[in-house]
């Protein structure tokens, strides 16, 4: 440094300035490129990770990529399409965002008939829950008479009942049927004490005549049951719950709960918009893996093109077109019959899922964590999947599909997390 200082002193002032400027430019241009080259030179030792996960993949595949470029691809079956189970909700979320955008609010229409009947027309709102019904009740106040005759429900936007492939007529929440106007995910949440006392398991949801009747059939404890065993009960419960909640807003009905199509002479009052934007609904759908929400979204997306009688067949077609147009996936090479992942007829490849994960980066914070990885799980009997991101900055995409008797997903996830915890950024 001493020699350099003496050299600079000997130079004229103008030459000193030029020399300093040149040195600065060299530092700015050369040094970052040097370190950038070092960063690209540090490639993870994929052989180590493959050795760790190999014992846990008997029939399955693990694909890891960065910016869409595969880096590790270990599979027991080349060129196979896998059953994604609930990881199918990830591309469904991306599809919904493309159709509507993050700030979309699902709608429900309100009409007045003959100035004495209130008609509610459903448009497939997947999050038409007790809290939303309360808000709707407050918005109704002052717009309609405080005493009405019949409460009329129009569920005609979707064919009803709609039973996705893989859904069984059980009381399990994941077997709930879909429809254009259904409340609380078409489920009832009850708590029965040992002395037989029945209460709602949700403070915002009052008991109704139907839920009291159902409560007589259950054992003590907390239960969330769906109404798939008798689809007519779903319609009845929707009406009963609206009446019970709106009574708190001083809106009473003296007549019956009926079903009817909206008619020409019905007076349009207003369009209620769900208070939650699409992004929040998708976060809830992915976090709790809600099958009902997923298929409601799939079906509702078709209402953008058609006006009524939506079913799974008509809603799958535009979704498959999206796979081809948006992701470049040949729709003839994938199988899709519904959107929740409950059907074993759904099939796609790990490379197809990778394309989804690339684009999902534009919508961060949708996925929750599993074993330290921002990801989404999927499970059916003998089917265990996991897709998402790994690395300190979630810079790596991965897709894991297993179709084997033993569930080794957790072990593989831990190996992936541990491996990338020691990879330099």
* 77 and 169, same domain (yes or no): no
The structural domain count of the chain equals: 2
Q: Count the alpha carbons within 13 Å of 76 in the hemisphere toward its beta carbon.
A: 14
Burial of 215 (0-12, 13-18, 19+ CB in 10 A): buried
Name, in order, each residue with C-beta under 8 angstroms of 324's C-beta and a sequence gap of 6 or more.
Answer: 330, 331
pLDDT in tens, 204-242: 999 999 999 999 999 999 999 898 777 889 999 999 999
**Alpha-carbon distance 335 to 320, whole Å?**
9
* 242 and 125, same domain (yes or no): yes
* 119 and 260, same domain (yes or no): yes
What CATH number did the domain enclosing 360 receive? 3.40.710.10
* 332 and 294, same domain (yes or no): yes
Q: What is the mean pLDDT of each run of 10 residues along the chain (425 residues)?
A: 49 53 48 43 87 98 96 95 98 97 98 96 97 97 95 94 88 89 95 95 96 94 87 92 94 96 96 98 97 97 82 95 97 97 98 97 94 98 98 96 98 98 80
What CATH number did the domain enclosing 165 receive? 3.50.80.20
User: What is the DSSP annotation of 282-304?
Assistant: HHHHHHHT-HHHHHHHHHHHHTT
pLDDT in tens, 348-371: 999 999 999 999 999 989 999 999
For the packed helices 291-302 and 89-100, what is the interaxial angle rounded to 10 degrees?
Answer: 40
Positive/negative CA dihedral, 202, 207, 213, 219 = positive
Q: 299 lies in which domain range?
A: 46-101+281-421
Domain-ending residue, one of 276, 296, 315? 276
Domain-ending residue, one of 211, 242, 276? 276
> Which tokens hold the place of 80?
């196979």
Asked if residue 353 is part of any domain, the answer here is: yes
* 111 and 243, same domain (yes or no): yes
Please give the model's pTM, rounded to 2 decimal places: 0.88
Asked if residue 320 is part of any domain, the answer here is: yes
């Amino acid at each position: 440094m001493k020699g350099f200082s003496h050299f600079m002193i000997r130079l004229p002032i103008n030459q000193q300035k030029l020399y300093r400027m040149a040195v600065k430019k060299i530092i700015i241009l050369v040094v970052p490129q040097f370190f950038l080259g070092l960063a690209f030179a540090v490639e993870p030792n994929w052989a180590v990770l493959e050795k760790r996960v190999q014992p846990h993949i008997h029939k399955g595949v693990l694909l890891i990529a960065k910016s869409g470029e595969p880096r590790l691809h270990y599979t027991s079956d080349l060129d196979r399409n896998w059953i994604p189970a609930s990881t199918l909700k990830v591309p469904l979320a991306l599809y919904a965002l493309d159709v509507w955008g993050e700030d979309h609010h699902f709608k429900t229409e309100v009409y007045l008939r003959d100035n004495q009947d209130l008609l509610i027309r459903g448009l497939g709102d997947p999050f038409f829950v007790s809290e939303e019904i309360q808000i709707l009740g407050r918005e109704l106040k002052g717009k309609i008479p405080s005493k009405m005759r019949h409460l009329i429900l129009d569920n005609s936007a979707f064919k009803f009942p709609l039973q996705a492939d893989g859904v069984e007529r059980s009381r399990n929440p994941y077997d709930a049927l879909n429809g254009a106007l259904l409340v609380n995910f078409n489920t009832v949440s009850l708590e029965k004490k040992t002395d037989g006392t029945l209460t709602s398991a949700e403070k915002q949801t009052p008991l109704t005549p139907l839920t009291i009747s159902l409560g007589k059939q259950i054992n003590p404890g907390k239960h969330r049951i769906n109404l798939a065993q008798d689809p007519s009960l779903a319609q009845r419960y929707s009406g009963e719950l609206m009446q019970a909640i709106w009574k708190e807003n001083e809106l009473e009905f003296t007549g019956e709960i009926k079903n009817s199509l909206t008619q020409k002479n019905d007076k349009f009052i207003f369009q209620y918009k769900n208070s939650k934007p699409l992004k929040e609904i998708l976060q809830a759908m992915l976090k709790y893996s809600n099958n009902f929400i997923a298929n409601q979204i799939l079906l509702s997306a078709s209402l953008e093109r058609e006006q009524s009688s939506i079913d799974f067949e008509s809603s799958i077609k535009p979704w498959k077109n999206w796979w081809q147009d948006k992701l470049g996936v040949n729709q003839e090479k994938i199988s899709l019959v519904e959107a929740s992942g409950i059907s074993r007829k759904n099939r796609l490849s790990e490379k197809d899922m990778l394309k989804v994960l690339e684009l999902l980066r534009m919508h961060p914070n949708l996925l929750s964590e599993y074993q330290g990885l921002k990801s989404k799980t999927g499970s059916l009997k003998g089917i265990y999947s996991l897709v998402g991101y790994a690395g300190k900055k979630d810079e790596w995409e991965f897709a894991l599909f297993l179709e084997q008797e033993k569930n080794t997903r957790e072990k593989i996830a831990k190996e992936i997390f541990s491996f990338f915890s020691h990879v330099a950024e």
